[in-house]
Amino acid sequence: MTAPTHSYRTFIACEVAEAWDALVNGDQTARYYYGTRVESDWTEAGPIRYLSPDGSVVADGVVLSVEPPNRLELMFHARWDQELAAEGPVRMVWLIGETNDLTSVTVESHLDPASKTFENFSGGIPYIVSGMKTLLETGKPMGSGQE
């Protein structure tokens, strides 16, 4: 397995199970993940979709492995931009664990550093994880029109 080309980590004052739920529960993702609702049966080789409020698919992919509540590996294919979609799917790994009485959330992405996807994820992943942190610590979304 190759090393990730982009990695982002933060610490959240919550339980590991709460962070896991925020990652896999569509009602939660709609509040911090750019307003998208995740759908999946969370089984290995199962499909995953991120839906906008109007029901259109903004990203999809497949679950590669799932180890609740600590690890989720998936192929993530952006559909919100034609250029990103043309670059193809990205392997992502979400890691959730305990560190010094906090929950650590790490997202590792395997990207071409010269791609538009790399540029997009470099800003997007920190925003998503920050939104998760804010929601879990305050009960309120970070902003950007998310409910």
**pLDDT computed for residue 4 by the predictor:** 62
The predicted structure's pLDDT at residue 13: 98
* CA atoms of 115 and 136, how far apart (whole Å): 32
Question: Phi, psi at residue 132, to the nearest 5°?
Answer: -60, -45
Q: Which domains does the chain have, with CATH numbers?
A: 6-138 (3.30.530.20)
Q: Is 98 helix (H, G, I), strand (E, B) or coil?
A: strand
Residues of the chain with pLDDT under 50: 145, 147
CA distances from 52 to 57, 60, 134 (A): 6, 12, 21
Cα four-point dihedral sign 12, 18, 20, 24: negative
pLDDT tens, 47-88?
999 999 999 999 999 999 999 999 999 999 999 999 999 999
pTM of the model: 0.91
